[in-house]
Amino acid sequence: MSFLELKDATLKFGGVTAVDNLSFSVNEGEVFAIVGPNGAGKSTVFNLISRFYDPHAGSITFDGHDLLKSKPSEVATFGVARTFQNIELFDQATVLENLLVGRHRHRKTNLVNEIFFTPSARKQELQNRHFVEEIIDFLDLQAYREKRIAGLPYGVRKVVEVARALATDPKLLLLDEPASGLSVEETTDMRWWIDDIRRQMGITVLMVEHDMGLVSGVSDRVLAMADGARLALGTPSEVQSDPAVIEAYLGHVA
């Protein structure tokens, strides 16, 4: 049984079919990229997996769980973490606090423990902090640890979002355009990080990305989408040379 599997997923907004009978599966340990022109339904696929939208038909399973039977907040507790295309951080909190929210799914204390801050709550906080510090080290965020998000530059925010997703200690990481708006150097950094996330941490990565350099550099398999449907699926070079993909991006050959 595959790790993450979408089967015949369909989602309609009124007359628009955003995701059209889409099936694909992601294997454990691979980096899987979704590419496609704007409006192809890539982010919508993410929002389906995160359970922000209910598909009209089809099934989504992850690691033996039927995601369609779970609440949006439960998806994270199964070990799926994600970032957002337009950055959704907790603006009025520090980087450290943002990452600590990522530890929420490992919360073992209850209200009473926390109000009296019993030794178990203290121990949990120390463990959380220890885990979060490793992520901060990994992504070189030491300089921003105590800074509020509201004052941070765009590139750093992108990294903090990845860090917060990693803080949940996920099995599957969904990255929605991790390199959009980043400089060339930052994109290169992101590339090595994604590689390390897979190799060192053993986390499966599913990403949406437009930067073909990044996509062909890190991903094992690529899914190309257009108008909510699957165009091609294969290795990066296979997909790049697929006639249907070229047509979707460039139009008909005259």
Partner 1 sequence: MRIVFKTDYMQDIRPWKDRYQLGLYLILLAVVFAAPMVIDDFYLGELTNVLIWALAGMGLMILTGHTGQASLGHAAFLAFGCYANIILMEQGVPFMVAFPVAGLLTGIVGVIIAIPALRLHGIYLAIATLAMSILTDDIIVLTEPWTGGVGGKYAPSVNVFGFDIDRWGTPKEFYYLVLGVVVIVTLGYINLMRAPLGRSFIAVRDSEVSAQAMGVDIARTKAMSFGLSCAVTGLAGALMGLFAGAFNNETFSVIISIELLMMIVIGGLGSIHGAFFGAIVIGFLPQFLSISKEWVGAVFGGSSVAIPGLEFGVFGMILIGFILFEPMGIYGRWLKIRTFFELFPFYRKDMFKRQKSYLKTERLR
Please give the residue ranges that form the binding site for partner 1 (CB under 8 A): 47, 50, 52-53, 71-77, 81-82, 84-93, 96-97, 100-105, 107, 109, 111, 113-117, 121-122, 124-126, 128-130, 133, 150-154, 157, 164, 168
Could you tell me the smallest distance in angstroms from the CB atom of residue 217 to partner 1? 26
Cα 110 → chain centroid: 29
Could you tell me the smallest distance in angstroms from the CB atom of residue 48 to partner 1? 12
CB nearer to partner 1: pick between 72 and 213 = 72
On whether the CB atoms of residues 230 and 41 are closer than 8 A, the answer is no
CB nearer to partner 1: pick between 154 and 249 = 154
DSSP string, 175-209: EESTTTT--HHHHHHHHHHHHHHHHTT--EEEEE-
CB nearer to partner 1: pick between 21 and 77 = 77
Q: How far apart are CA 51 and CA 59, in angstroms?
A: 12
**Short-list 105, 214, 219, CA closest to 170:** 105
Could you tell me the smallest distance in angstroms from the CB atom of residue 114 to partner 1? 4
CB nearer to partner 1: pick between 53 and 138 = 53
Could you tell me the smallest distance in angstroms from the CB atom of residue 174 to partner 1? 9
CB nearer to partner 1: pick between 181 and 234 = 181
Q: Which residue has the tokens 């950055």?
A: 87
Could you tell me the smallest distance in angstroms from the CB atom of residue 79 to partner 1? 10
Which distant-in-sequence residues (6+ apart) come within 8 Å of 167 by Cβ?
99, 100, 101, 102, 103, 131, 132, 135
Q: Which long-range contacts (CB under 8 A, 24 or more apart) does 105-113 make?
A: 105/76, 105/77, 105/168, 106/169
Could you tell me the smallest distance in angstroms from the CB atom of residue 121 to partner 1? 6
DSSP string, 6-25: EEEEEEEETTEEEEEEEEEE
The SS3 call for residue 229 is strand
On whether the CB atoms of residues 189 and 56 are closer than 8 A, the answer is no
CB nearer to partner 1: pick between 122 and 199 = 122
